[in-house]
């Protein structure tokens, strides 16, 4: 063997092992260690045997051993005594943070070499040790011998054992990463506490099915005998401390959890990525799942999200950035998938593209989703530090805003009486030959891919006008039109017939999704109206006049706000359409609404959970503006009751109320130049909020 020649050249064995039994004079133990020494040397790749044996100084030897420790675990298998139908399995890994790996190896190969049939392990050996020349690192060696009933079972096992070896190696690395990460002080105390508390809870619920008695099992058995609650609390505190200081006992079922997730990984994903990178993904997945499940249990009505950015180097490719995300769903109707995730990423980095075959999703928990996706630049460049920082800071909130709510379709047959009434009303609007066609556009329904509008058209057919069906055939409109009926709606001057057409217009809904995946029905209606103008020429939008005015007012507001309108597009639209009375959306100047919207942004930037509420005011010419933000929407009734006592006319007072994530806001625009009235109004708002704050604080304390 090469190792034998190296021993002779160097004069000493650089791979000599030592254990707690190395100093004993027992001949049996010496023979056991000599046998283990030979088996362990056989696990070290020849390249490392040569490299380590050539080093001279202790620093060089340490560096070489460190590089070797980064390449393990090493797992090897071989058929031994084929006539006896046996398979020998050997594994070498780091001992730190891999507690329980021996039992996992045995169960993994015994259970899965032939699914549905458990293979007996007739011999096993495990050893914790360190190398004499590298004593600071502990290693673990495991050897198992499996016996098969017949040759066909052995042949079947040999077809899958190489896949099991690779999956096992990744899982061992992932467990090491998870426990190592949990031991780092860079994780927040709250994060680690949640993980530890989850594990403590599992100890009180599940007995240990195996005979492996670790420190937690012994404490658990002791705890079962205690009945006093304060003693149990004391033991829990001690166990929590123990968990923080012994991450190698992170969780007795951690290997099985890792195996469940790695079943989602397919060959196109694993073949171009290093096992260490895959193990980091699996490890953070485990930590995310533990933390999120605990958070959901504590606060099931809140959105919880965890995110981690991982740099990766794919085989033969430029570096990419992997994004691991864990998120809970609050309702059965919520949807979040690859398109939502990638849309949020592109809202931060518009030029990012997804790496092929890099998307993974874990849906094993009912209301918990864990996603992984890698992104790259189109030209293969590196993401800058500023771009990575932008992802870390902006992506979490953008992800939350893109959770889609899928509504159940509504079945409601068309009201024929209402359609006839509409035809009569529209026909009466046409009194002269020069009158424009009259049109009403009503939303009817939507499917997975289309929106449908019901349209009623009444027009005068002049001498050169084509009937509607012929007009439709000559059109290049992108609308898909289905005519329900065409009927006569009377005569104009007893000479020109009035044509009434009831038809449906269907269009693709994809272009009309907002960033939060709500459907912008107004924009879809505008599209229908524009297409109809190409088909019919000018017409009167009978039920859309107010909408047109609103669109103009909103567009003026966007221009006045400038870049803020782009950054807060959804918030701006919700703010504008929440103004009450609705007519005020078109009456107030863009300057007034801009000031009120800026007050809204200022309020939302404050930590309302600790302050309870914030009140911002501004005086603009004839108007007094106020915006209130609070940590809960319950203040609305208190404030509006107090304001109602001032008996301000509705045309002098405009309100806006919004839910923005966990917070709520209430805004006012008061038309008055009277300084005293302004001061009185502000004081009423402040008094109402102070009164609410006291009640809110009491509610919070009671709930705690």
- Per-residue model confidence as pLDDT tens digits over 100-141: 888 888 888 888 888 778 888 888 888 889 888 888 888 999
In a domain, 459, yes or no: yes
- The two counts, helices (H) then strands (E), for the chain are 25, 21
The DSSP result for 23-55, as a single string, is T---HHHHHHHHHHHHHHHTTS-HHHHHHHHT-
Task: Report the alpha-carbon distance of residue 91 to residue 97 in Å, rounded.
Answer: 16
Task: Report the alpha-carbon distance of residue 498 to residue 458 in Å, rounded.
Answer: 7
| Segments in 451-520 forming alpha helices (H) | 468-473
Same domain, 168 and 225: no
Reported for 358-365, long-range contacts at CB under 8 A and 24+ positions apart, including other chains, are 358/269, 358/320, 358/322, 360/264, 360/265, 360/269, 360/281, 361/264, 361/337, 362/261, 362/264, 362/285, 362/289, 364/260, 365/289, 365/293
pLDDT of residue 20: 74
In a domain, 190, yes or no: no
- CB atoms inside a 10 Å sphere around CB 467: 11
Among 270, 268, 365, smallest CA distance to 326 is for 365
Q: Is the pLDDT reported for residue 179 higher than 80? A: no
Which residue among 355, 375, 405 closes a domain? 405
Strand partners, 372: 324, 360
Q: Report how many domains make up the chain.
A: 4
Same domain, 265 and 373: yes
pLDDT band at 407 (very low <50, low <70, confident <90, very high): low
With contact defined as beta carbons under 8 Å apart, do 550 and 544 qualify?
Answer: no
Strand partners, 126: 142
Q: Is the pLDDT reported for residue 685 higher than 90? A: yes
Same domain, 245 and 104: no
In a domain, 199, yes or no: no
With contact defined as beta carbons under 8 Å apart, do 329 and 294 qualify?
Answer: no
Q: Which two tokens stand for residue 48?
A: 């490392």
pLDDT of residue 260: 64
Among 316, 313, 319, smallest CA distance to 376 is for 319
Q: Which two tokens stand for residue 471?
A: 């007009």
Among 692, 630, 622, smallest CA distance to 661 is for 630
3 state DSSP class of 107: helix
With contact defined as beta carbons under 8 Å apart, do 286 and 292 qualify?
Answer: no
Q: Is the pLDDT reported for residue 205 higher than 50? A: no
Strand partners, 450: 508
- Which of 79-93, 217-231, 261-275, 406-420 is predicted least confidently? 217-231
- Which of 385-389, 472-476, 570-574 is predicted least confidently? 472-476
384 half-sphere exposure, CB direction, 13 A CA radius: 5
Same domain, 399 and 333: yes
In a domain, 260, yes or no: yes
With contact defined as beta carbons under 8 Å apart, do 120 and 146 qualify?
Answer: yes
In angstroms and rounded to an integer, the radius of gyration of the C-alpha atoms of the chain is 36
Task: Report the alpha-carbon distance of residue 108 to residue 92 in Å, rounded.
Answer: 16
Does residue 132 or residue 666 have the better pLDDT? 666
- CA 300 from centre of chain: 16
pLDDT band at 199 (very low <50, low <70, confident <90, very high): very low
In a domain, 202, yes or no: no
Same domain, 496 and 611: no
In a domain, 135, yes or no: yes
3 state DSSP class of 259: helix
Stated as kind and residue range, the H or E segment containing 93 is strand 86-94
With contact defined as beta carbons under 8 Å apart, do 503 and 455 qualify?
Answer: yes
Average pLDDT, the chain: 80
In a domain, 437, yes or no: yes
- For residue range 469-508, list pLDDT tens digits in order: 888 887 778 888 999 999 999 898 888 999 999 999 999 9
Among 9, 10, 161, 190, smallest CA distance to 89 is for 161
What b/e string do you get for 401-421 counting C-beta neighbours within 10 Å, with b at 16 or more?
bbbbeeeeeeeeeeeeeebee
Task: Report the alpha-carbon distance of residue 588 to residue 190 in Å, rounded.
Answer: 48
Q: Which two tokens stand for residue 353?
A: 């593209």
Same domain, 501 and 539: yes
Among 341, 407, 391, smallest CA distance to 369 is for 341
Task: Report the alpha-carbon distance of residue 315 to residue 211 in Å, rounded.
Answer: 43
Same domain, 593 and 679: yes
pLDDT of residue 594: 94
Same domain, 538 and 555: no
Stated as kind and residue range, the H or E segment containing 669 is strand 663-671
pLDDT of residue 312: 83
In a domain, 470, yes or no: yes
Among 433, 490, 487, 441, smallest CA distance to 465 is for 433
pLDDT of residue 687: 93
Same domain, 422 and 337: no
Sheet order of strands, 480-492 included: 480-492, 496-508, 450-460, 438-446, 540-541
- For residue range 497-547, list pLDDT tens digits in order: 999 999 999 999 888 887 767 788 888 999 999 999 988 889 999 988 778
DSSP label at 92? Answer: E
Strand partners, 503: 455, 483
- How much of the chain exceeds pLDDT 70, in percent? 81
- CA 486 from centre of chain: 51
Task: Report the alpha-carbon distance of residue 453 to residue 637 in Å, rounded.
Answer: 38
Lookup result for tokens 């002269």: 432
Task: Show the 3-state SS of 367-387.
Answer: CEEEEEEEEECCCCCCCCHHH
- The domain in which residue 361 lies consists of 211-405
Same domain, 564 and 672: yes
pLDDT band at 185 (very low <50, low <70, confident <90, very high): low
Q: Is the pLDDT reported for residue 217 higher than 70? A: no
Which residue among 543, 562, 592 closes a domain? 543
Which residue among 405, 440, 467 closes a domain? 405
Same domain, 438 and 318: no
Same domain, 675 and 579: yes
Stated as kind and residue range, the H or E segment containing 439 is strand 438-446
Q: Is the pLDDT reported for residue 599 higher than 90? A: yes
Q: Is the pLDDT reported for residue 608 higher than 80? A: yes
3 state DSSP class of 689: helix
């Amino acid at each position: 063997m090469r190792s034998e020649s190296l021993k002779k050249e160097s004069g000493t064995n650089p791979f000599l092992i030592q254990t707690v039994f190395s100093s004993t004079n027992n001949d049996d133990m010496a023979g056991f260690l000599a046998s283990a020494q030979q088996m362990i040397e056989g696990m070290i790749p020849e390249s490392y045997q040569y490299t380590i044996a050539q080093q001279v100084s202790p620093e060089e030897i340490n560096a070489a051993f460190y590089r070797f420790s980064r390449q393990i675990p090493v797992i090897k298998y071989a058929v031994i005594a084929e006539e006896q139908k046996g398979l020998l399995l050997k594994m070498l890994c780091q001992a730190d943070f891999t507690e329980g790996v021996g039992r996992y190896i045995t169960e993994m190969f015994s259970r899965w070499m032939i699914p549905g049939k458990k293979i007996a392990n007739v011999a096993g050996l495990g050893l914790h040790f360190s190398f004499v020349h590298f004593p600071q690192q502990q290693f673990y060696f495991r050897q198992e011998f499996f016996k098969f009933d017949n040759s066909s079972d052995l042949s079947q096992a040999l077809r899958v054992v190489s896949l099991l070896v690779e999956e096992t190696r990744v899982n061992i690395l992932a467990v090491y990463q998870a426990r190592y990460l949990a031991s780092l002080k860079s994780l927040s105390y709250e994060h680690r506490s949640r993980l530890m508390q989850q594990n403590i809870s599992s100890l009180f619920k599940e007995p240990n099915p195996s005979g492996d008695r670790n420190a937690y099992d012994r404490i658990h058995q002791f705890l079962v005998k205690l009945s006093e609650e304060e003693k149990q609390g004391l033991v829990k505190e001690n166990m929590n401390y123990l968990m923080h200081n012994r991450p190698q006992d992170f969780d007795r079922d951690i290997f099985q959890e890792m195996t469940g997730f790695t079943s989602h990984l397919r060959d196109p994903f694993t073949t171009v990525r290093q096992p260490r990178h895959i193990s980091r993904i699996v490890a953070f997945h485990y930590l995310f799942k533990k933390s999120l499940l605990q958070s959901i249990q504590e606060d099931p009505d809140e959105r919880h999200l965890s995110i981690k950015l991982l740099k990766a180097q794919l085989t033969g490719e430029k570096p990419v950035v992997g994004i691991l995300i864990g998120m809970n769903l609050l309702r059965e109707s919520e949807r979040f998938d690859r398109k939502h995730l990638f849309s949020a990423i592109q809202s931060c980095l518009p030029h990012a593209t997804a790496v092929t075959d890099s998307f993974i999703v874990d849906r094993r928990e009912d209301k918990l989703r864990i996603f992984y996706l890698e992104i790259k630049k189109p030209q293969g460049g590196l993401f800058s530090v500023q771009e990575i920082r932008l992802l870390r800071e902006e992506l979490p909130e953008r992800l939350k805003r893109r959770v889609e709510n899928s509504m159940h379709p509504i079945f409601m047959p068309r009201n024929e009486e209402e359609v006839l009434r509409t035809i009569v009303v529209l026909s009466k609007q046409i009194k002269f030959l020069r009158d424009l066609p009259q049109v009403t556009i009503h939303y009817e329904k939507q499917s997975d891919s289309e929106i449908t509008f019901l349209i009623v058209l009444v027009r005068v057919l002049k001498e050169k006008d084509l009937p509607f069906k012929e007009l439709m055939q000559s059109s290049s409109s992108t609308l898909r039109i289905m005519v329900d009926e065409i009927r006569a709606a009377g005569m104009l001057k007893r000479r020109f017939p009035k044509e009434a057409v009831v038809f449906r217009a269907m269009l693709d809904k994809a272009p009309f999704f907002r960033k939060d995946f709500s459907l912008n029905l107004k924009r879809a209606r505008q599209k229908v109206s524009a297409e109809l103008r190409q088909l019919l020429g000018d017409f009167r939008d009978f039920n859309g006049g107010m909408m047109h005015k609103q669109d103009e007012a909103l567009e003026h507001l966007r221009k006045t706000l400038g870049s803020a309108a782009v950054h807060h597009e959804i918030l701006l639209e919700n703010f504008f359409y929440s103004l009450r009375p609705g007519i005020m959306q078109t009456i107030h100047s863009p300057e007034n609404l801009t000031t009120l919207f800026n007050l809204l942004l200022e309020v939302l930037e404050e930590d309302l959970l600790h302050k309870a509420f914030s009140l911002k005011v501004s005086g603009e010419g004839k108007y007094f503006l106020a915006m209130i933000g609070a940590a809960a929407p319950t203040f609305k009734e208190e404030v509006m009751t107090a304001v109602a006592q001032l008996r301000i006319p509705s045309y002098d007072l405009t309100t806006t109320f919004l839910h923005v994530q966990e917070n709520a806001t209430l805004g006012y625009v008061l038309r008055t130049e009277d300084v005293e009235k302004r001061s009185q109004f502000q004081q009423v708002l402040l008094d109402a909020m102070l009164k609410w704050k006291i009640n809110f604080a009491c509610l919070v304390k009671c709930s705690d």
